[in-house]
Amino acid sequence: MQQKLTILGTARRQGIGRQSGNPYDMGTLHTMQPARGRDANNIAAGYKSVEMGCPPELAMSLVSEKFPVEVMAQVELRDDGKLEVVSFERSSAVNSQAQK
């Protein structure tokens, strides 16, 4: 599915797992999304930060960008129920205004 995202930052983590001894290499996108909700137990307004997994190469492609970056992302549901960004295209019109 496609989703418009505002990316606030990026991270890449790599190393060897302490317990498993297996190597890992993962990317994370720090995104801003609307905070929605209103019921008897929850009232939310404004925005919330959401971490989304991504391939490490995708995370590293943003390192030299000026944040925030607007993108149209291709997002997939992982086996663990979390969303992962598998690719994106920059929204150049929005980004050019943000960088001025």
**Which pLDDT score, from 0 to 100, does residue 92 have?**
62
**Which pLDDT score, from 0 to 100, does residue 35 have?**
85
99 pLDDT above the threshold of 60 = no
Domains by residue range for the chain, with CATH: 2-15+24-98 (2.40.50)
Task: Kindly state the average pLDDT of the residues 63-77.
Answer: 94
H or E, element range at 95 = helix 92-98
**Which pLDDT score, from 0 to 100, does residue 95 have?**
47
Write out pLDDT tens, residues 18-68.
999 999 999 999 999 888 877 777 788 899 999 999 999 999 999 999 999
Torsion of CA 31, 32, 35, 41, to 10 degrees: 40
Which residues fall within 8 angstroms of residue 72, CB to CB, at 6 or more apart? 2, 3, 4, 5, 88, 89, 91
16 pLDDT above the threshold of 90 = yes
Judged by average pLDDT, the poorest of 3-12, 27-36, 76-85, 89-98 is 89-98
Whether residue 55 is preceded by a cis peptide bond, meaning omega within 30 degrees of 0, is no
- Structure tokens given for 67: 């944040």
- Structure tokens given for 20: 């498993």
